[in-house]
Amino acid sequence: MGRSRRPSKQMLLLLEALSAHTQQWRHGYDLMKETGLLSGTLYPLLIRMTDQGLVEAEWREPEHPGRPARHAYRLTSAGVAFARMATPAGPMAFTKAAFA
């Protein structure tokens, strides 16, 4: 299975962003800004992690009227467990600075 492979540094960055507040729904563009990942990297990761059941997604009402509903993401319980397993030293172990 794909999950048995060591996660890429981009995936670790995304896991870090999502595991900081596991109950909070996050928008794609906010995740891009926080992780520094481009849309071409972020969305394949989100698609793969959603297919693997690590991330759940749902449509959220827009914050401003007249805007379209936005897709929001958060870790599932399996995703939280995977994030802990992938980073035994805790979330601070895979910050952006660590990969720089």
Partner 1 sequence: MKPAVSRALLSLASRSLGSDRRTWAMAMEAEFEAAVEDRRPFLFALGCLFVAWREIGKHSEGRLILASYALALGLLIPMAALQFQQAVGFLSSADGPPYGIPSAGDGPNLYLIWSQNSAIPILLITWLLLAMAHLCLAWMLVEGDWPRIVKCGTLIGAAMITLSLFMGVLMLDLSSLKAQVAELVIEFVAVVAISRWHIRISSDASPELLAR
Contacts of partner 1 in 17-46 (CB under 8 A): 27-30, 32-33, 38-44, 46
Which residue is associated with the tokens 């759940």? 56
Between 69 and 93, whose beta carbon lies closer to partner 1?
69
40 vs 88, beta carbon nearer partner 1: 40
Per rule CB under 8 A, count of chain residues that contact partner 1: 21
What is the H or E stretch that residue 3 is in?
none
Residues in contact with 56: Cβ distance below 8 Å, sequence separation at least 6, in sequence order: 50, 73, 74, 75, 76, 79
Site map (CB under 8 A) of partner 1, residues 42-71, x = contact: xxx-xx---------x---------xxxxx
φ/ψ of residue 25, rounded to 5: -80, 135
In the complex, which residues of this chain contact partner 1 (CB under 8 A)?
A: 27-30, 32-33, 38-44, 46-47, 57, 67-71
